[in-house]
Structure 1
Amino acid sequence: MSKHYDVIIVGSGPAGIFTALELIETGGGMKILILEKGRDIGKRACVAREQGGPCVNCSPCSTICGWGGAGAFSDGKLTLSTDIGGSLEQYTGEKGLSDLIDYIDRTYVKFGAPEHVFGLEHEEEIQEIQRRAVLSELKLIPVRIRHMGTGRCKEVLQRMQEYLVARGVEVRTSCQVEEVLVKDKVIRGVLTRDGQVINAKIVVLAPGREGADWLTQEAQRLGLNTSINPVDIGVRVELPAAVMDPLTRIFYEAKFIYYAKTFNDKVRTFCMNPNGEVVLENIDGLVTVNGHSHAYNKTENTNFAVLVSKTFTEPFKEPIAYGRYIASLANLLGGGVIVQSLGDLVSGHRSTREKLAKCMTVPTLREATPGDLSLVFPYRHLMGIVEMLKALNNLAPGVYARYTLLYGVEVKFYSSRLALSAALETQIKNLFAAGDGAGVTRGLAQASAAGVLAAREIAKRI
């Protein structure tokens, strides 16, 4: 027997959560259901990290799936800028997006995010860093960042769940949606993997970056138009925190864009974690790398990603498959994530445990296998990464050092972007899509804003 709801939200990451929060604020008494294939936030734990062993291929991976989405165990950075984190301004306009970001920022603070914002001070030092960046052919993107930290981020998301449940929102975790149900180009509901049909007037698809592949497949099945997003593939860089302190002290996360001299590919820094740790992620059996910075537990290292962005032309239509292929080479050669010192990479030597034992940078991801990343990445990707590190060394001496560690592969799976209205409605009536999984956002702030944008249109209809 099927059940009926006003709104079903698929995915409980920031886009899904903020869709529900905004719908509750309308006071319309809607019957809302959130479906999440991962575990509840209190039951999310990485077995490999707790036991200090290799990835055991949990399905789904608790690091990236469950209440709060991948952001629950992320660094918890809110990038308070319209320039970073996606392309939502194409739907809202820059002023509209700025207002949405301010709105969701106040909501995070309401639920316990810290008051302090990085990037509001040190004006003279920022100008000097910008000047030096230009001389190094780097584009510095100064942004305001509110940093929650991994531990505090989890607490904030827990409070949001309690708030929603207390106001009548039904949450089902460990419940995977198999298909979207459509009749006569109008949404009817969803079919879960265990065969349950759940009907709804409106469905919001917010499966997050990990669910991008599923959403792309559903779009193809339903005949929805999509466009291809760039593929971002690279490494997680780890080095002593003192090296990056001149930048992280001012910005917390310094964001740079560089165009490689050899191939002119766009290379960018991403997700900088002062005094953080490098961690594993398991995406449907594919082991990749990421980084966190805890609110309470600090290390002696800083880590950040260096990603090479590539936009492909026809007939290529599989950015996710391409990213998975590159990452799978590291899994094939190293049984998971590979770590290599920059000195070994540049000199053409494989890193070994004996070499890394003498390294000044002590790896925080002990499960990574010492190896050779040149056997994994295309040559043009490696050239872009090395050139970016050389340029960064002009701003933070010690980045381009033989003891700098590189972990691979880090890959950002951006869904092929769905064709959406200004309110994020698909070509199917009353079917909305929001967040990273829909290919329109790339981070906590804009994903949260996307949920609010969709919810405001939904509230008008119910």
Structure 2
Amino acid sequence: MSKYDCIIVGAGPAGIFCALELVRSNTGMKILMLEKGRDLPERVCPSREKKAPCFGCNSCAVVSGWGGAGAFSDGKLALSTDVGGMLGEYLDRRSFEEGIKYVHDIYLEFGAPEKIYGLERQEEIELLQKRAALAGLRLVPAPVRHMGTGRTQKILQRMQDYLKEKGVTVKTRSPVASILVESGAAAGVVTEEGEEIAARYVVCAPGRHGAEWLVKEALRLGLETTINPVDIGLRVELPAAVLEPLTDITYEAKFLFTSPTFEDRVRTFCMNPYGEVVMENTDGIITVNGHTHAEYKTENTNFALLVSKTFTEPFKEPIAYGKYIASLANMLGGGVIVQRLGDLMQGRRSTAERLAKGMVVPTLQEATPGDLSLVLPYRHFLAIIEMLQAMDQVAPGVYSRHTLLYGVEVKFYSSRLKVSGDLETGLPKLFVAGDGAGITRGLSQASLSGVVAGRAIARRVAGEL
């Protein structure tokens, strides 16, 4: 049986930064990274290449592989500790702030741009906050460093090259089936091919795509979990000029809203100026996302509107619930559905002819014109409409009949494992990190969570030497 000092399950931002921290600890650890997806150069989506509907690949190149879903994301690094997850519940304020800066410095080291949006023009940001408040919205100041999709992939490739040079073993197309346990502690993993690999420590950082697997493993191992809110919504696409007054200042405008009818929480997520809408495949369920390239721009801006719902007993299947809603869109549209807001409000489905009459040309050509009111629950649907109306008061043109809505967007990180401040689970020597563990919701915090786990393991190993 092969043996390592640490096995990292998942090669997204959390797994990568855990490996970087372990390497830089100078403890001489033998490290193995196992990733179920493909290596970065092999991560080619056939549907994007051929401009066709999703092919339903067993392992979606967009959400799994070296770099995780972050490799094909917009590459936004939040500098604020107020957005991007719940890591602040495990770190003191000073450590949290220093950790975010530390992560940014590492991204800079590997090629991230120096520019940060939202640090300057404070008077204009304050005016936007006041206008938002009058509309019932809260604009969260969130300085962001934008890498762009293409540049992000280059940065992640440099990180892999660096880790390999430092002796880290990286195996892609190597899914893990289960965690090995010996003497009441994590002792390695078992791959789906049945190979047992021993390790002194195990870090599970499977990303959103592996969240369901991690929850099942936690259940098998008797680990305690809590149910996070379920985030379900739509992706909005409109002319970039409509949101330029916001995006030119903040790049990504993060709005929080409480719907007046049902008092549900709604938020903007992943705003992509001059970007494009894309599809993702999570275990056969087709959902929608968006990003912006560093190399070229479109004439549109897109962002998600997500409705957060916290369920109570006896409900314990937030991921299954999200997949069920997404599957309705897949059933009706064969994948992602797109609809003009005007058609939606008139109670009719969009057609190719009606879309052609609109001002906004869909960047996701593979989306099927249809009727999203048949997909989302009524209170989700109403909350999104109410937020669009509120946003229109800050940026006129958001609530336009030409605005496009794509559905559905679901974030599969809805269960959180109970962990210590070092992100160690109730099973000794088993650590978790990133979006898949329900702890983070963005690149900065996901990366930092990997650092936190890596530092904890390095301290223990150093103490054992």
TM over 0.5: yes
Which amino acid letter does the alignment assign opposite residue 437 of structure 1?
G
**Superimposed CA distance per residue, residues 236-274 of structure 1 (whole angstroms, 9 cap, x where no aligned partner):** 000000001000000000000000011000000000000
**Superimposed CA distance per residue, residues 1-40 of structure 1 (whole angstroms, 9 cap, x where no aligned partner):** x100000000000100000000111111110000000000
2:180 and 2:314 map into 1 onto residues whose CA distance is: 30
1:127 matched to which residue of 2?
A: 126
SS in 2 for 1:189: strand
1:76 matched to which residue of 2?
A: 75
Query: Residue 230 of structure 1 contacts residue 414 of structure 1 at CA under 8 Å; is this kept in 2?
Result: no
1:139 matched to which residue of 2?
A: 138
Residue 121 of structure 1: CA displacement?
1.0
Which amino acid letter does the alignment assign opposite residue 232 of structure 1?
D
1:337 correspondence with 2:339: no
2:372 matched to which residue of 1?
A: 373
Which amino acid letter does the alignment assign opposite residue 141 of structure 1?
V
**Superimposed CA distance per residue, residues 79-134 of structure 1 (whole angstroms, 9 cap, x where no aligned partner):** 11111011111111222111110000000000000000000111111111011011
Which amino acid letter does the alignment assign opposite residue 438 of structure 1?
A
1:290 matched to which residue of 2?
A: 289
Query: Residue 373 of structure 1 contacts residue 408 of structure 1 at CA under 8 Å; is this kept in 2?
Result: yes
Q: Map of 1:5-404 to 2, 5 A cutoff?
A: 5-404=4-403
SS in 1 for 2:90: helix
SS in 2 for 1:331: helix
Which amino acid letter does the alignment assign opposite residue 365 of structure 1?
L
2:84 and 2:184 map into 1 onto residues whose CA distance is: 31
1:75 and 1:318 map into 2 onto residues whose CA distance is: 29
SS in 1 for 2:400: coil
2:186 and 2:348 map into 1 onto residues whose CA distance is: 56
1:10 and 1:124 map into 2 onto residues whose CA distance is: 45
CA RMSD of aligned residues (A): 0.6
Query: Residue 230 of structure 2 contacts residue 414 of structure 2 at CA under 8 Å; is this kept in 1?
Result: no
1:94 and 1:404 map into 2 onto residues whose CA distance is: 40
Residue 184 of structure 1: CA displacement?
2.8
Which amino acid letter does the alignment assign opposite residue 344 of structure 2?
L
Where does structure 1 lack aligned partners over 5 or more consecutive residues? none
Residue 183 of structure 1: CA displacement?
2.1
Structure 1 length as normaliser, TM-score? 0.99
Query: Residue 415 of structure 1 contacts residue 436 of structure 1 at CA under 8 Å; is this kept in 2?
Result: no
1:93 and 1:226 map into 2 onto residues whose CA distance is: 22
Residue 185 of structure 1: CA displacement?
1.7
User: Which stretch shifts more, 102-111 or 91-100?
Assistant: 91-100
Q: Map of 1:390-429 to 2, 5 A cutoff?
A: 390-429=389-428
1:415 and 1:316 map into 2 onto residues whose CA distance is: 12
Residue 155 of structure 1: CA displacement?
0.4
Residue 302 of structure 1: CA displacement?
0.3
2:182 and 2:23 map into 1 onto residues whose CA distance is: 28
2:197 and 2:2 map into 1 onto residues whose CA distance is: 5
**Superimposed CA distance per residue, residues 382-414 of structure 1 (whole angstroms, 9 cap, x where no aligned partner):** 100000000000111100000000000000011
2:327 and 2:454 map into 1 onto residues whose CA distance is: 38
Residue 149 of structure 1: CA displacement?
0.2
SS in 2 for 1:315: coil
Structure 2 length as normaliser, TM-score? 0.99
Moved beyond 4 Å, runs of 4+:
none
2:459 matched to which residue of 1?
A: 460
